């Protein structure tokens, strides 16, 4: 009961994966190393891309926010671990009709599940579910409000490590709507925990949270100044709603000031890598020449996504069994 609120068991092993916050560097490195092992599974010459680690376990995708691509990645990850997968797309209109989050949970408890993968529009939702579901269930946060998207951050870290090796000398710039971005918050935490030299955020003031430096970053309002000499550039997606909320005048203006083009890219280091959590808005935050160009590692992020989720699922569900080994 004492550890029900924490992500870790009493022995310090991963039980839930809710946020990068509070996780030590060694644990993050373990996740990356484990994920690296799983990347090998996707190679040619291996007809069966599955391993039997989670055979007999059931993973339920609880998506309160629509997202086909993220849900598919989690589903693939679970299936490659030989788990059974249950998909529950609970559109928000159903919950406003009366069934509360807790009621949904209680109904699910009847279905003997081992893991919930949760995506929800409210910050803190994944933690809420972890605090209220049955003791043996592990909860993975697939994105809660603007709070955290820790699996995305980890696959981004894996991609960075694959190209750059050591984190310590790196300067990383994150460009775009930091204010509303759960991805950015998790990335900043992961980068700082892994010990990079500098994390920069680049955005107009309307798209930055209160006192952004307190997140552990340097703040830039000018794109070129911000990406000068950086090793990694992470572009965030711009939601169309931001124009309506008076955050920005137009997409055109945003692209002019903050969109990444080949020309602007020249200011970064020669071997800079360009990342994007997807889906990409071509011509808004990034132009096609860069998205498809030699610096872009976007496709690698996608394939790393499955390996990272396999790793975290395995770490959460393995080594928890203090019961007698079942048949």
Partner 1 sequence: MTPTVFMQQPAILDLISGMAEQLQSIIRERQLINPVMIGIHTGGVWVADHLHKKLGLADELGTLNISFYRDDFSRIGLNPRVKPSNIPFDIEDRPVILVDDVLQTGRTIRAAMNEIFDFGRPSAIILAVLVNKTGRELPVQADVTGMTPTLKPNDYLFLRGPEPLEMQLGQKTASSGNND
Partner 2 sequence: MTSNTSISIINGRLIDPANDIDEHLDLHISQGKILSVGEKPSGFEADIIIDAKNKVICPGLVDLNAHLREPGYEFKGSIESETAAAAKSGITTLIFPPDTLPVIDTPAVVELIRRKAKQSGKARVLTQAAMTQDLEGNEISDMQALQQVGCVAVSNAGKPLGSTLIQRRAMEYASTFGLQVFVQSEDRHLRNKGCAHEGRISARMGLPGIPEAAETVAVARDIALAEATGAKLHFQTLTTAKSLRKIQHALADGIQLSADVAVHQLHLTEMDIENFNAQCHVHPPLRTLRDRDALRSAVASGLISAICSDHQPHDADAKAHPFPDSEPGISSLETLLALTLKLVDEGVMDLPTAIARVTIGPAQILGLPYGKLDAGSSADICIFEIDSPWTLKREEMLSKGKNSPFINWEFNHRVTHTLFEGRLVYQSDKN
70 among known catalytic residues: yes
Residue with Cβ nearer partner 2 (189 or 260): 189
Residue with Cβ nearer partner 1 (6 or 87): 6
> Which helix or strand (DSSP H or E) is residue 235 part of?
strand 232-235
Which tokens in the block code for residue 220?
């830039």
Taking CB under 8 A as the rule, does residue 25 contact partner 1? Answer: no
Considering only residues 50 to 89 of the shown chain, the ones binding partner 1 according to CB under 8 A are: 50-53
Residue with Cβ nearer partner 1 (35 or 291): 35
Which tokens in the block code for residue 309?
């989720």
Residue with Cβ nearer partner 2 (145 or 318): 145
250 binds, among partner 2, partner 1, none (CB under 5 to 8 A by kind): none
119 among known catalytic residues: yes
Taking CB under 8 A as the rule, does residue 37 contact partner 1? Answer: yes
Active-site residue, from 39, 60, 70, 73: 70
For the beta sheet containing 232-235, the strands, ordered from the edge strand earlier in sequence to the opposite edge, are 218-220, 198-202, 171-175, 232-235, 273-275
Which tokens in the block code for residue 147?
């709070």
Taking CB under 8 A as the rule, does residue 166 contact partner 1? Answer: no
The separation between CA 204 and the C-alpha centre of its own chain, rounded to angstroms, equals: 23
149 among known catalytic residues: yes
Residue with Cβ nearer partner 1 (43 or 97): 43
Question: Is residue 267 a contact partner of residue 256, using CB atoms and an 8 Å limit?
Answer: no
CB of 314 to partner 1, least distance (A): 5
Residue with Cβ nearer partner 2 (18 or 235): 18
CB of 136 to partner 1, least distance (A): 11
Full DSSP string of 20-74: STT--HHHHHHHHHHHHHHHGGGSTT-S----STTTT-EEEEEESS--HHHHHHH
- Taking CB under 8 A as the criterion, the residue among 20, 196, 217, 315 binding partner 1 is 315
**Residue 285 burial (C-beta neighbours within 10 Å; 0-12, 13-18, 19+):** buried
Active-site residue, from 149, 171, 185, 276: 149
- In 3D space, the residue among 313, 310, 286, 311 whose CA is nearest the CA of residue 298 turns out to be 286
Taking CB under 8 A as the rule, does residue 325 contact partner 1? Answer: yes
- Which backbone phi and psi does 232 adopt, to 5 degrees? -135, 135
140 binds, among partner 2, partner 1, none (CB under 5 to 8 A by kind): none
211 binds, among partner 2, partner 1, none (CB under 5 to 8 A by kind): partner 2
Active-site residue, from 25, 49, 55, 69: 69
Which tokens in the block code for residue 208?
């930055």
Taking CB under 8 A as the rule, does residue 48 contact partner 1? Answer: yes
**Residue 278 burial (C-beta neighbours within 10 Å; 0-12, 13-18, 19+):** middle
**Residue 315 burial (C-beta neighbours within 10 Å; 0-12, 13-18, 19+):** buried
Residues that bind partner 2 (CB under 8 A): 5, 100-102, 120, 122-125, 127-128, 132, 144-148, 182, 185, 209-212, 214-215
- Taking CB under 8 A as the criterion, the residue among 103, 225, 292, 321 binding partner 1 is 321
Does residue 52 come out as left (phi exceeding 0), alpha (psi in the -120 to 50 range) or beta? alpha
69 among known catalytic residues: yes
Residue with Cβ nearer partner 1 (47 or 279): 47
CB of 22 to partner 2, least distance (A): 11
Angle at 118 between CA 109 and CA 7, to 5 degrees: 85
Taking CB under 8 A as the rule, does residue 327 contact partner 1? Answer: no
* Contact positions vs partner 1 (CB under 8 A): 13, 29-31, 33-34, 36-37, 40, 45-48, 50-53, 314-315, 317-322, 325
* Active site residues per annotation: 69-70, 97, 119, 149
């Amino acid at each position: 009961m004492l550890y029900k609120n924490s992500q870790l068991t009493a022995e310090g092993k991963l039980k839930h994966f809710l946020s990068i916050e509070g996780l030590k560097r060694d644990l993050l490195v373990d996740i990356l190393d484990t994920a690296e092992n799983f990347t090998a599974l996707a190679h040619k010459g291996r007809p069966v891309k599955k391993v039997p680690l989670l055979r007999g376990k059931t993973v339920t995708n609880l998506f309160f926010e629509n997202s086909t691509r993220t849900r598919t990645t989690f589903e693939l990850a679970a299936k490659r671990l030989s788990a059974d997968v249950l998909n529950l797309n609970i559109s928000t209109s159903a919950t406003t009709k009366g069934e509360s989050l807790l009621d949904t949970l209680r109904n699910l408890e009847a279905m003997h599940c081992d893991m919930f993968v949760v995506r929800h529009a409210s910050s803190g939702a994944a933690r809420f579910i972890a605090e209220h579901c049955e003791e043996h269930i592990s909860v993975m946060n697939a994105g809660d409000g603007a709070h955290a998207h820790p699996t995305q951050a980890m696959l981004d870290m894996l991609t960075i490590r694959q190209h750059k090796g050591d984190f310590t000398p790196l300067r990383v710039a994150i460009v775009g709507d930091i204010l509303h971005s759960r991805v950015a918050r998790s990335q900043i935490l992961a980068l700082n925990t892994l010990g990079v030299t500098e994390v920069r955020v680049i955005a107009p003031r309307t798209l930055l949270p209160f006192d952004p430096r307190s997140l552990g970053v340097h703040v830039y309002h000018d794109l070129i100044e911000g990406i000068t000499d950086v090793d990694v550039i992470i572009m965030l997606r711009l939601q169309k709603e931001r124009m309506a909320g008076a955050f920005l005048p137009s997409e055109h203006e945003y692209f002019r000031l903050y969109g990444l083009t080949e020309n602007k890219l020249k200011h970064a280091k020669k071997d800079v890598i360009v990342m994007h959590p997807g889906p990409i808005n071509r011509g808004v935050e990034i132009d096609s020449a860069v998205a498809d160009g030699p610096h872009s590692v976007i496709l690698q992020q996608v394939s790393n996504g499955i390996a990272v989720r396999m790793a975290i699922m395995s770490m959460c569900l393995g080594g928890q069994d203090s019961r007698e080994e079942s048949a």
